[in-house]
Amino acid sequence: MQTIINFPLKSLNSFGFDVKAKEFIAVESSANLRSAIDYAQAHSLPWFVIGGGSNLVIHNDLPGLTIHVQIMGKKLVSKTATHAFVDVGAGENWHAFVQWSLDNQLPGLENLALIPGTCGAAPIQNIGAYGCEIGQWIDSVEVLDTYESDEDRMWQTLTRSDCQFQYRHSVFKKDPGRYIVTQVRLAIPLVWRPNLQYAELAKHVANISPLLPKDVFAAVCHIRQAKLPDPKVLGNAGSFFHNPIVDESTYLSLKNQFPDLVAYPSDTLNGTPQFKLAAGWLIDACGFKGFRQGNVGVYHQQALVLVNYGHGNGKELLDLARTIQEKIHAVYGVDLTQEPINLP
């Protein structure tokens, strides 16, 4: 197996940080992936798996072996009376897959349009936007379990339940490094119903009749492009912080102190109502929107997005993130947790 030495990763992390991989290999099949892991283990190398690099903060050159998953392919596998089952390779671009699903009369994913990254990363992060999360469509995920040495047990199919999906969380994040996603199977309902929970999206399509999936797709793209910078122009990883979830008493206390607080009901915990606070509102209310610290800053149109102005690095970005986290905790008493994964 041949690897590339000191491979530049600037184009493979959406912040555009100028970092390198000590050894790098692109894998295009499950067999190639297994060979790469075997190589790393045989040489006692740490290894890292990357896809589109849209949910990473790479703040130093990566030691060991960096594996770029490029397993492609997408196809309609079967249909039942209620669902279409579609397989997609982990290396496929997520947004292009959403477009493909619409082109093939398989609507339902349009609320997740323009989310950067690959299809293999989608279940790891349980990507979500505009009232939807990918976990609700996933039927199963094909993975390589790196904790297993037995060939028959190394390749596994995890069901939706196995994936333990929660808000921006899954079993893949609970046990990082164990599973490498190779393929995702989605169960897409055959009866399409638009999801217009998000007020701005509902407003955008209010005068369209009849409303079609392509209209929702176009509206989502328009809203995202108006609020979020293109990583190819201004380095970023989309939303940098999770929306903090608090119990009802905390929410009511904060609402009393800050009447304009933006929050939404969330899933109950042990029968107790929970509320999701809008992290972007918290950051904006503390005066960080448009704030710049050296070569990095907070995007001027969306306070939830941290950006690299071109010459920044991971250390600068994480320093800025800590500054924001400390301020939010001091003012509101809640903790902001980081969404992108730090490497190494």
**What would the 3-class secondary structure string for the chain be?**
CCCEEEEECHHHCCCCCCCEEEEEEEECCHHHHHHHHHHHHHCCCCEEEECCCCCEEECCCEEEEEEEECCCCEEEEEECCCEEEEEEECCCEHHHHHHHHHHCCCCCCHHHCCCCCECCHHHHHCCEECCEEHHHCEEEEEEEECCCCCHHHHEEEEEHHHHCCECCECHHHHCCCCEEEEEEEEEEECCCCCCCCCHHHHHHCCCCCCCCHHHHHHHHHHHHHHHCCCCCCCEEEEECECCCEEEHHHHHHHHHHCCCCCEEEEEEECCEEEEEECHHHHHHHCCCCCCEECCEEECCCCCCEEEECCCCCHHHHHHHHHHHHHHHHHHHCCCCCECCEEEC
For residue 87, the model assigns a pLDDT of 98
pLDDT by residue, tens only, the chain of 344 residues: 789 999 999 999 999 999 999 999 999 999 999 999 999 999 999 999 999 999 999 999 999 999 999 999 999 999 999 999 999 999 999 999 999 999 999 999 999 999 999 999 999 999 999 989 999 999 999 999 999 887 777 999 999 999 999 988 999 998 888 999 999 999 999 999 999 998 899 999 999 999 999 999 999 999 999 989 999 999 999 999 999 999 999 999 999 999 999 998 988 777 889 999 999 999 999 999 999 999 999 999 999 999 999 999 999 999 999 999 999 999 999 999 999 999 98
Domain 74-204 CATH (choose: 3.30.465.10, 3.40.50.150, 3.30.70.240, 3.40.50.300): 3.30.465.10
Give the pLDDT of residue 209.
96
Catalytic member of 92, 133, 316, 339: 339
Domain 4-69 sits in CATH 3.30.43.10: yes
- Given 168, 170, 224, 316, which residue is catalytic? 168
- Residue 152 pLDDT: 73
The active-site residue, picked from 23, 133, 239, 316, is 239
Q: Active site includes 339? A: yes
Domain 235-343 CATH assignment equals 3.30.300.130: no
Q: Residue ranges per domain, the chain?
A: 4-69, 74-204, 235-343
Give yes or no: 239 in active site. Answer: yes
